[in-house]
Amino acid sequence: MDNVTQDIIIVSGMSGGGKSTALNALEDLGYYCIDNLPGAMLPGFESQISANPDLYNKVALGIDARSRESDLQVIIDWISLLRETGFNCRLLFVTAEKPVLIKRFSETRRRHPLTGSDQILPDAIDNEARLLESLCRWSDQVIDSSHTNIHQLRRQVWNFVDRSSSDMTIVLQSFAYKQGVPQDADFIFDARILPNPHWQDDLRALTGKDEAVSSWLEGEAKVIQMSRDIEGFMHAWLPAFQDAQRSYVTICIGCTGGKHRSVFLAEALAKSLGKNHENVLVYHREEPLWNKA
């Protein structure tokens, strides 16, 4: 069996640094993600990966300080073994500055995995940094999330994965203008001038992903015209971005509430661009707010 096509990414880092966000970003790219796998189980997991190359073609494993210190050396040895046997194995380390980590734990009220009756949060962070120092040194890339938001962190992870890919990643993001304009957009299209399903009583609670809303918007000439114009523009210019060796391009489409028009257009554009590009991701920024409206 040829193992070279199997891609394995180990994700480690400081608690609160963004490891879960990194794993979610990898899952969006089609990786089979497993979080908090004990290091001692890795040698046994290797045989599973080798025996199932189709299922485990792309794998991401999350490792954190809950692994025993002795397990961390097992992880380093396992990575070395995979590389020697032909796997494309990489280690990504996600961290943040100590004051940022303290603030994040204080805001979320989460318990740090190393805190206990005899260890306060700042000491737990110092202890974790010491524990993970060897993994940090061994990593292929360290991402510091101290001054990035969740969307920028996801893009950095995608860039880490796709920097050697022949096809760039296209990110389509819908958003609500009333929640602010995305700061990491390459292109922004404004759909607020289009007819709004919000004013239809039977459609208000639905989203642009629902068939009833899609059918209503498809019946509006201005919506179809904007959709075709955006598609034509992006189809014309994305090849130039790829020729310039861009790893990713983010296309944002906004409307008032980020629930109907922008969502519909983002989904439609994803289907169109997916015909010519392998890595097309769709992200609806306001989706967590839909059920609260």
Q: Which domains does the chain have, with CATH numbers?
A: 3-162 (3.40.50.300), 169-290 (no CATH)
Residue 165 has pLDDT above 70, yes or no: no
Number of Cβ within a 10 Å radius of residue 196: 19
Res 149: pLDDT: 85
Residue 208 has pLDDT above 90, yes or no: yes
Res 83: pLDDT: 83
Res 4: pLDDT: 47
Residue 39 has pLDDT above 80, yes or no: no
Read off the pLDDT band of 292 (50, 70, 90).
low
The pLDDT tens digits of the residues spanning 18-37 come to: 999 999 989 888 898 988 77
Read off the pLDDT band of 70 (50, 70, 90).
low
94 has which bridge partners? 13, 143
Res 69: pLDDT: 61
Considering the chain, what percentage of its residues have pLDDT values greater than 90? Answer: 43
Average pLDDT over the chain reads: 86
Q: How many CA atoms lie within 13 A of 25 on its CB side?
A: 24
Q: Which residue has the tokens 């989904």?
A: 267
Helix (H, G, I), strand (E, B) or coil at 175: strand
Residue 45 has pLDDT above 90, yes or no: no
Rounded to whole angstroms, the Cα distance separating 178 from 161 reads: 33
Q: How many CA atoms lie within 13 A of 31 on its CB side?
A: 25
- Asked whether the beta carbons of 136 and 64 are under 8 A apart, the reply is no
- Asked whether the beta carbons of 173 and 285 are under 8 A apart, the reply is yes
Res 65: pLDDT: 65
290 Cβ contact list (under 8 Å, min separation 6) = 207, 259
Res 1: pLDDT: 41
